[in-house]
Amino acid sequence: MNKDVCIIATRGSALALWQARAVGQRLAAVHRGLRVIVREVRTEGDRSQAGGTPLAMHEGRGVFTREVDNELLTQQADIAVHSLKDQTTTLPAGIRLGMTLERGVAEDALIARADIALLDLPKDAVLGTGSPRRRAQLLRIRPDLRFTEVRGNIDTRLRKLEEGQVDALVLARAGLERLGYANRITQTFAAEAVMPAPCQGIVGVTCREADEDTQALLLAADHPSTHAQALAERSLLRRLGGGCHAPIGALARTHKGVLYLRAVVLSPDGRKAAEAMGKGPIPEAEDIGVRVAQDLEARGAVALLRESSV
């Protein structure tokens, strides 16, 4: 190893800092004597969140990742740590995905004020989520549901729940568990019912393409099967042209050298859906993503995505 210090760029949210520390711990465990420095960055998404702007209005712009990756391009940091589901499907020029941590739980979870499951919520219940993907899939289960955007950190969202502004929240289970809120979960949605966002539960680490020392540092600490899952899900999303707020769900799994990928594209009201699945050798992860996306296109995904963009 030719490096003894690694500077990590990250957002300053509690979850982002958890992720950065986890990456730092992984690197330090693999590379004895490596000193890790965390550099916090305020992003457009953080500023918009403070101002109450809906995230869907910033679709595809990398509002939680662009300024963090820019720390790499200006050589203020060696690596950048992201919730990979927030990262743009095409990385900025000069940057590559260097490693992933082992994937956490991928599913979405419900936190209801009355400690009940989705089917037990009252008629016309209001759920807090700004995700078109979640809304569309939950409407397939409960067409009477209503939705409202709930912004801010988890504490802020829980306070809005407790104040009665919403009947329940829908959030990524991984983030809740990582920050110690697992005991608040009242239902975990099976992927077959509510397909997760592409790369949900995956922590990704980017670096400069020209920085071979850092690439080697990351490669030694990478989790290969999770990395392959990320490549498959991201290539599917890139082929479909969907941003991180499009009504697209995808989940890859690996077993005995084979990668399995399932995906769904939905209309905004959840009444129409195109679903597809595929499999192949793990080294073909990106090709598998493209093939499944092409299958979805043949099943009407393009028209469904056009509906969601109106």
Catalytic residue among 69, 86, 108, 211, which? Answer: 86
Contacts of residue 242, defined as CB under 8 A and 6 or more positions apart, other chains included, come to: 89, 248, 265, 305
Which pair of tokens denotes residue 237? Answer: 């999303």
Helix axes 285-298, 301-309, angle to 10 degrees: 80
Instruction: Give dist(CA 148, CA 169) in Å, integer.
Output: 10
46 catalytic? Reply is no
Contacts of residue 11, defined as CB under 8 A and 6 or more positions apart, other chains included, come to: 17, 40, 41, 42, 43, 45, 46, 64, 68
DSSP string, 233-256: HHHHHHHHT--TTSSEEEEEEEET
Evaluated on CA atoms 157, 226, 118, 308, the torsion sign reads: positive
What kind and span of H or E run contains 275?
A: strand 273-281
Output the CA–CA distances (angstroms, integers) from residue 244 to 90, 98, 122, in the order listed: 12, 20, 30
CB atoms within 10 A of CB 146: 13
Please identify every residue annotated as catalytic: 86
